[in-house]
């Protein structure tokens, strides 16, 4: 839980960024590897697990549910209990700042006859859970505080879940995943219908663990079906580098003159690389090298060289593939020439903060022209950023990292009011940036 005193940090203009490195494991895949390992029979061994607070809270949760997760040397092991085999925890499950861990675990709890209270930090406790609770209640999950839709939440699952067919009203990989995970426990087939593609890590990893998953594209819709009463078996999982973490290093390399950075072993799943497509459209020298596959997921090395950028229009349909990257894209759009318009960002209003408003406010504080129009963010770039401002992060790790990236190429230093929460997703952020040549200080 994020309760520590604020830790402001200032980014100073860097000379250049150079080097080859790896970023920590992908957060989405790390959560799922722990959860599916718990629902499988036998032992799952995970290499490259992201050891950030969000993921560690998921590891603690599966342990509390009777599937011990522990680190042995550099490998995490989960002793699975099989689908439906978890037990009632002794106390509440604490998820800190993790929306992913919370929503996926709701799908797990739904399929077990147990009563569980889920809690989170101040930021997570403001985030709405209605979209995931609705379909899970249709399947049989009972919310003990009827009508309540935010943490803390007490809920009761059942061993007699009902399979459903559910059309997602808004694209959300977390809601889709929670329903599919619950569907593992239901008798029959559970189907989620998507109008827009979202991250498909759950489908890929369920197959990898032995569940029966069918994906059918029909009439512009995607139907994802999982067969219930599933039997999954422990596997060896290698977690690829997180493209959302790599985004900060890549964007920094584009805007700091003379930079040449290669990030090795990054996940390049089509549902996650919208940012890199956008950077290329802006004129960014971004190349995907040495493409390969591991554990059912595509990976590559990404080489980025500093570039002159131009403003572009980022269409709404690209939003699901880069939803976490908009703050840092907005930060570097300030260095592009012309207007960058990002559409379809409603989801950003219900993240760790209202990321749309927080991003625009951070840009204004540093002399950048930006405006929010409905669900769109428009940044007017001039090729340079004055800087000199202090950014209110609102306890949001991605806001903090986005503006610590922007400050590396601004005329004057950029300060963020807090960095303590960066540990929720990317504790190595500062160290890796400084390894490349970034300059940070505790005071402006």
Residue 81 structure tokens: 């209990």
Instruction: Give the other-Cβ count within 10 Å of 179's Cβ.
Output: 30
* Closest C-alpha to 314, from 288, 289, 333: 333
CB-count burial class (<10 Å; 0-12, 13-18, 19+) for 216: exposed
Q: What is the 3-state secondary structure of 213-279?
A: EEEEEECCEEEEEEECCCCCECCEEECCECHHHHHHHHHHHHHCCCCEEEEEEEECCCCCCHHHHHH
- Vertex 292, ends 287 and 298: CA angle to 5°? 85
* Closest C-alpha to 323, from 344, 305, 308, 297: 344
Bridge partners for 441 per DSSP: 10
Contact 401, 440 (CB under 8 A): no
DSSP letter string over 102-126?
A: HHHHHHHHHTSS-EEEEE--TTGGG
Report residue 293 CA to chain centroid gap.
21
Residue 206 structure tokens: 């369920």
Residue bearing tokens 């997602």: 168
138 φ, ψ (degrees, to nearest 5): -60, -35
Q: What is the dihedral of CA 130, 132, 134, 140, to 10 degrees?
A: -140
**What strand order describes the sheet that includes 142-143?**
93-94, 115-119, 153-156, 142-143
The reply to whether 324 belongs to the active site is yes
110: Cα within 13 Å, side-chain hemisphere = 29
User: Please, which residues have CB within 8 angstroms of residue 148's CB and are 6 or more apart in sequence?
Assistant: none
Q: Which of 324, 375, 417, 418 is catalytic?
A: 324
Report residue 115 CA to chain centroid gap.
28
Active-site positions read: 324
């Amino acid at each position: 839980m994020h309760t520590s005193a604020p830790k402001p940090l200032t980014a100073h203009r860097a000379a250049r960024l150079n080097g080859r490195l790896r970023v920590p494991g992908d957060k989405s895949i790390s959560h799922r590897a722990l959860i599916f390992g718990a629902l499988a029979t036998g032992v799952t061994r995970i290499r490259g697990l992201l050891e950030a607070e969000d993921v560690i809270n998921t590891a603690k949760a599966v342990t509390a549910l009777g599937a011990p997760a522990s680190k042995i040397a550099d490998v995490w092991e989960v002793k699975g209990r099989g689908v439906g085999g978890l037990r009632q925890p002794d106390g509440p499950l604490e998820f800190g700042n993790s929306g992913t861990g919370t929503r996926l675990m709701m799908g797990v709890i739904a399929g077990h006859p147990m009563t569980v209270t889920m809690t989170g930090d101040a930021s997570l406790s403001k985030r709405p859970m209605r979209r995931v609770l609705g379909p899970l209640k249709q399947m049989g999950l009972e919310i003990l505080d009827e009508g309540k839709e935010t943490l803390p939440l007490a809920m009761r699952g059942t061993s007699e879940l009902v399979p459903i067919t559910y059309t997602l009203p808004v694209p959300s990989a977390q809601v889709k995943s929670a329903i599919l995970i619950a569907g593992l426990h239901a008798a029959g087939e559970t189907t989620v219908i998507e109008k827009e593609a979202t991250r498909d890590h759950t489908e890929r990893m369920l197959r990898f663990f032995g569940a029966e998953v069918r994906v059918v594209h029909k009439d512009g819709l995607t139907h994802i079906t999982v067969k219930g009463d599933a039997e999954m078996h422990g596997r060896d999982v290698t977690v690829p580098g997180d493209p959302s973490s790599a985004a900060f290093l890549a964007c920094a390399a584009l805007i700091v003159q003379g930079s040449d950075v290669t990030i090795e072993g990054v996940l390049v799943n089509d549902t996650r690389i919208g940012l890199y497509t956008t950077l290329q459209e802006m004129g960014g020298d971004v190349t995907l090298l040495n493409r390969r596959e591991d554990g059912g997921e595509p990976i590559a090395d990404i080489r980025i060289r500093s570039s002159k950028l131009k403003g572009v229009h980022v269409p709404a349909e690209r939003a699901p593939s880069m939803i976490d990257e908009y703050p840092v894209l907005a930060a570097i759009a300030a260095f592009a020439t012309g207007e960058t318009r990002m559409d379809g960002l409603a989801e950003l209003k219900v993240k760790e903060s209202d990321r749309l408003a927080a991003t625009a406010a951070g840009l204004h504080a540093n002399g950048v022209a930006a405006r929010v129009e409905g669900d769109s963010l428009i940044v007017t770039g001039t090729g340079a950023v004055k800087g000199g401002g202090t950014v209110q992060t609102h306890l949001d790790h991605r806001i903090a990292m986005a503006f610590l990236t922007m400050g590396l190429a601004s005329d004057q230093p950029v300060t963020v009011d807090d960095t303590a929460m960066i540990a929720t997703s990317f504790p190595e952020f500062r160290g890796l940036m400084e390894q490349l040549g970034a300059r940070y200080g505790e005071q402006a």
